């Protein structure tokens, strides 16, 4: 909107429903330094956050804004999803924080479109944390909500691998490959896992 780009106004609140702006020279000007949102915004496409990762200082400021957004409104599902996405990029050390953000998002979304993928992300995070039974259950829930998802199938295959259920892992990995285009960047990783699983099966005399 025009006001987003207007230098005379500062955005001091946002969620998926509304935004609040105040005049930079108005009665609330003193509150702007502590409350302005310069980097994060309410749009549904969270891809804009990826551009901040190139600069650690900017990225940390964006994360701080997302954390402040859920403090301002604990029902700001878009900010929770943004946190979950960025905690994923932060790696395994942030897995617990990612899981918390996904828990909050799932609870708020109900049956909203896209909730199946959020359950899939939650399953993947549980897998990262080694909580295999919960990861399997959550992956199955994601597939129940959205049958065409690849991520929950990957979670189920990885959980089967970790349990030594090589036959089950092979079938799941083969199923994933059939669903991916040949130029999909995930194909190489899936094939590498499939090769390991098939080698393990051959060593056990299974064809």
**pTM value?**
0.90
Q: What share of the chain in percent tops pLDDT 70? A: 97
Tell me, what's the pLDDT at 65? Answer: 97
CA 21 to chain centre: 29
Tell me the mean pLDDT in the region 8-26: 91
Number of other CB atoms surrounding residue 189 within 10 Å: 12
Q: What share of the chain in percent tops pLDDT 90? A: 88
Which residue, 156, 90, 89, 84, is CA-closest to 122? 84
Please provide the average confidence, as pLDDT, over all residues in the chain: 94
Tell me, what's the pLDDT at 1? Answer: 56
Tell me, what's the pLDDT at 27? Answer: 84
d(CA 45, CA 141): 24
Tell me, what's the pLDDT at 4? Answer: 64
Tell me, what's the pLDDT at 26? Answer: 84
Look at residue 43 and tell me whether its pLDDT is greater than 70.
yes
Each residue of 181-193: pLDDT tens digit?
999 999 999 999 9
Tell me, what's the pLDDT at 53? Answer: 97
Look at residue 111 and tell me whether its pLDDT is greater than 80.
yes
Which residue, 137, 141, 13, is CA-closest to 65? 13
Beta-bridged to residue 19, according to DSSP, are 14
Look at residue 7 and tell me whether its pLDDT is greater than 80.
no
Look at residue 6 and tell me whether its pLDDT is greater than 70.
no
Tell me, what's the pLDDT at 3? Answer: 60
């Amino acid at each position: 909107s025009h006001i987003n780009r207007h230098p005379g106004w500062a955005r001091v609140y946002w969620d998926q429903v509304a935004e609040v702006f105040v005049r930079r020279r108005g009665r609330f000007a003193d509150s702007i330094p502590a409350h302005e949102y310069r980097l994060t915004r309410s749009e549904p496409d969270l891809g804009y956050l990826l551009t901040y990762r190139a600069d650690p200082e900017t990225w940390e400021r964006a994360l701080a804004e997302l954390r402040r957004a859920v403090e301002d409104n604990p029902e700001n599902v878009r900010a929770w999803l943004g946190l979950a996405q960025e905690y994923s990029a932060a790696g395994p050390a942030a897995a617990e924080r990612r899981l918390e953000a996904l828990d909050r998002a799932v609870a708020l979304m109900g049956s909203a479109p896209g909730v199946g993928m959020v359950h899939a992300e939650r399953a993947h995070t549980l897998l990262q944390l080694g909580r295999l039974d919960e990861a399997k259950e959550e992956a199955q829930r994601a597939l129940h909500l959205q049958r065409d998802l690849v991520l929950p199938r990957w979670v189920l295959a990885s959980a089967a691998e970790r349990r030594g259920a090589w036959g089950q892992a092979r079938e799941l990995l083969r199923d994933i490959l059939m669903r991916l285009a040949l130029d999909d960047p995930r194909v190489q990783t899936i094939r590498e896992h499939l090769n390991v699983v098939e080698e393990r099966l051959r060593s056990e005399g299974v064809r």
